[in-house]
Structure 1
């Protein structure tokens, strides 16, 4: 019986050696065989991708029903810097038209407010709409009744409330 154990062990070792033996390199001229690559396909890329963090508008939902002046909403980030980037030199004109405002409205993920310069309502006004779902800011500025519309990413899908606000000024309609 001891001889059978030695013989069985020898078969197992031989099977392992034969099973672990590398197969010979196939000839690339064989039918259907792909030629080896001429260059290294695992090249490193020097491109650095840095993700941009999209600020959540969820914190702005707390402004619903409140006045812009009491909340400081226009001075809060990310709104403050995005308004400045969108309007550039028109930014001060926009801010001064939020002197008198109704409470902020929130409907269907659109945060909306409008305002005017004290004693100049009807001619010098501004409106702001933030599509919180699509992360796009829209602004309208009326100077002496002439309206300019602005939007991030050149988006032309202005929210309905902003379009209705624009209709108040007959110079462009």
Structure 2
């Protein structure tokens, strides 16, 4: 009787071992499955992507030399929605500071303009720089001379014109 118990235990162990084996693969792949990639898809390669100007910004080149209030540049898409998304609750403070502006400048793929709240220039101002090649919007807002800078994608490579604008406020020097 003990021999039967040992034999039964041996059959159970053999069944477990045979049951745990993976099914046999024929011709290197199972029927209906996707074959494994022949190369490592996670290999690092040199980035050959050249930055190009985003098509939607090309239309903004026409604003060079014009006044923001006259051409309605801040109300044009994609600028309007991207400013709103970038600034959130600071958006009204930004747009009201474009009450008095010089003409829009365009140089080296950077569209730039600044403005101030009428009768409060020097303290309540705002500036906008769009790197059209990199597709990044940068904004500065001065409230009573205190400046806050904003950028999409948390980019810290602010255009020189925006940094020059920032340096004119004594509280930030």
Scaled by the length of structure 1, the TM-score of the pair is: 0.72
Residues in 1 aligned to 2:166 and 2:30: alpha-carbon distance in whole angstroms: 63
Gaps of 5+ in 1: 1-33, 44-53
1:101-116 alignment, distance < 5 Å: 101-116=101-116
Matched, 1:37 2:29: yes
Scaled by the length of structure 2, the TM-score of the pair is: 0.72
Q: Corresponding residue for 2:170?
A: 170
Query: Residues 119-167 of structure 1: CA distance to partner in whole angstroms, max 9, x if unpaired?
Result: 0000000000000111100000000000000000111110000000000
1:57 aligned counterpart, secondary structure? helix
Q: Corresponding residue for 2:126?
A: 126
Q: What root-mean-square deviation, in Å, do the aligned CA atoms of Structure 1 and Structure 2 show?
A: 1.7
Consecutive aligned runs of 4 or more in structure 1 exceeding 2 Å deviation: none
Gaps of 5+ in 2: 1-25, 37-53
Q: Corresponding residue for 2:150?
A: 150
2:87 aligned counterpart, secondary structure? helix
Aligned residues: 130
Q: Corresponding residue for 1:140?
A: 140
Residues in 2 aligned to 1:104 and 1:132: alpha-carbon distance in whole angstroms: 14
Structure of greater Rg: 1
